[in-house]
Amino acid sequence: MAADAVETALCSGKSLTNRPKNFARSPSLHAHLKSLNSTDSNRSALLFSVIPHLLNAVSEVSKALRNSQEVSLAGTANSFGDDQLNVDVVAEDLIRASLAQCPAVRMASSEEDPVERPVSSVVSATSMSEEQYTVAFDPLDGSSIIAPNWTVGTIVGIWDDGGSALGLSPAKQQIAAVLGVYGPRTTAIVAVRFPGTEGSCFEVGLTETGCEIVRPDIKLSSSSSQVKTKYFAPANLRAAAEDERYMRLVSHYIANKYTLRYSGGLVPDVVHALVKGHGIYLSPVTGASKAKLRRLYELCPLALIVECAGGKAIDPMDGTDILDKEVANCDERGGLICGTAEEVDFARGVLLGEDQG
């Protein structure tokens, strides 16, 4: 399918039911992506085929979830040994089917199938794109909270040079990321950062009939003093019982009247900060609490999105930027501190003992 036809099919521009007449019409996805393409004229396949197809996949996964009233073990495990849910398998299949429509996507791997393999494109070889990308994705992040019907998500990283995402510089060659958010509404956060640019982060609302740009420019506050409400999301709070520095950090948030916003889901907790314009998400690593987040499928895409929104994402073990380290293998894991830059710097100081407190 031609790039314009793909975009038109996904984002028909139809009015939302009961939308107020005075509601300003959001710019179309095509127009917004076209404005990004002006900085790099060689990215038309990424912007007008790969990203729209991934957004379409998010929409399809959302429909599947709404029709999957029975969430249960699929009776299989992925290569990491994690038990798979029936919805994990469905999401995996839907995303891979969308990727197969993109001749610019050469390789793909996922948390459910963590081996980089060529994408079997259904598009004829004559339409192969000069652009080549590798996609790494977590089809359904949040399995532990999906049964009680809490918000979950999809995490996707898009890497330049379609041979592999391993051994590359995440800061330079992971050039786009998508977070699908399945809650009361279905939305997606998209980040695009071409080499030499600051990057762009925006939010798309998805419906069964089309999509619209909800927030054309997502930005985290540059200073906590400028926000009325400060948010914190402390993952693995039990680790505070074994790590005095983490306990001190959590106590700081409580003493300074930060608002707790933690669901247990990586995607909704990070997206909450992005939407509110302030927040800190912490997933520390201690002797008894090992790293759980996989760098290729979760940490790198999230870090790109947070950085494009003006925030920071660092490794709590040594304070280095998540995107400064190459990914050596598909199962490489780490901790995460991300969010408003000022808050990340403070958390780093406490957790690494740099604050002299």
**Band (121; pLDDT cuts 50, 70, 90):** low
pLDDT at 172 over 70: yes
111 and 54 share a domain?
yes
**Does residue 162 fall inside a structural domain?**
yes
Q: What is the pLDDT, as a whole number, of residue 347?
A: 97
Angle between helix axes 341-351 and 244-255 (nearest 10 degrees) is: 140
Amino acid identity of 103? Answer: P
128 and 233 share a domain?
no
C-beta atoms surrounding 14 within 10 Å: 11
**Does residue 134 fall inside a structural domain?**
yes
Q: Are strands 174-182 and 333-334 parallel, antiparallel or unpaired?
A: unpaired
**Does residue 118 fall inside a structural domain?**
yes
246 and 181 share a domain?
no
Which of 13-17, 48-52, 143-147 has the least mean pLDDT?
Answer: 13-17
Q: What is the pLDDT, as a whole number, of residue 203?
A: 97
Choose among 82, 29, 31, 23: nearest CA to 59.
Answer: 29
Average pLDDT, the chain: 86
128 and 63 share a domain?
yes
209 and 312 share a domain?
no
**Band (71; pLDDT cuts 50, 70, 90):** low
Q: What is the pLDDT, as a whole number, of residue 129?
A: 64
Among residues 215, 250, 283, which one ends one of the domains? 215
Name the H helices within the chain: 3-10, 29-37, 44-45, 51-66, 86-99, 143-146, 170-173, 244-255, 266-276, 300-308, 341-351
Distance CA 263, CA 242 (A): 22
**Band (16; pLDDT cuts 50, 70, 90):** very low
**164-187 b/e with 16+ CB inside 10 Å = b?**
ebbebebbebbbbbbbbbbbeebb
Q: Report helix, strand or coil for 327.
A: coil
276 and 175 share a domain?
no
207 and 230 share a domain?
no
Tens digit of each residue's pLDDT (9 = 90 or more) over 79-100:
555 656 788 888 999 999 999 9
Q: What is the pLDDT, as a whole number, of residue 222?
A: 82
187 and 308 share a domain?
no
Tens digit of each residue's pLDDT (9 = 90 or more) over 223-232:
777 788 999 9
**Does residue 357 fall inside a structural domain?**
no
Distances (CA, A) of 217 to 84, 220, 268, 284, 335: 36, 10, 18, 29, 27
Tens digit of each residue's pLDDT (9 = 90 or more) over 99-116:
999 999 999 999 999 999
107 or 69: which carries more pLDDT confidence? 107
**Span 3-28, average pLDDT:** 40
Distance CA 335, CA 344 (A): 13
pLDDT at 336 over 90: yes
Q: Report helix, strand or coil for 323.
A: helix
**Band (9; pLDDT cuts 50, 70, 90):** very low
Among residues 215, 236, 251, which one ends one of the domains? 215
Q: Which domain holds residue 235?
A: 224-351
24 and 145 share a domain?
yes
124 and 210 share a domain?
yes
Quote the tokens at residue 166. 């391993």
C-beta atoms surrounding 222 within 10 Å: 13
Q: What is the pLDDT, as a whole number, of residue 122?
A: 56
Distance CA 146, CA 3 (A): 34
208 and 248 share a domain?
no
| Distance from the first to the final alpha carbon of the chain | 59
Choose among 213, 10, 29: nearest CA to 1.
Answer: 10
- Total domain count, the chain: 2
DSSP conformation class of 297: I
pLDDT at 20 over 50: no
117 and 208 share a domain?
yes
pLDDT at 178 over 50: yes
Tens digit of each residue's pLDDT (9 = 90 or more) over 248-301:
999 999 999 999 999 999 999 999 999 999 999 999 998 888 888 999 999 999
CATH number at residue 96: 3.30.540.10
**Does residue 288 fall inside a structural domain?**
yes
Q: Are strands 280-283 and 336-339 parallel, antiparallel or unpaired?
A: antiparallel
Among residues 198, 215, 232, which one ends one of the domains? 215
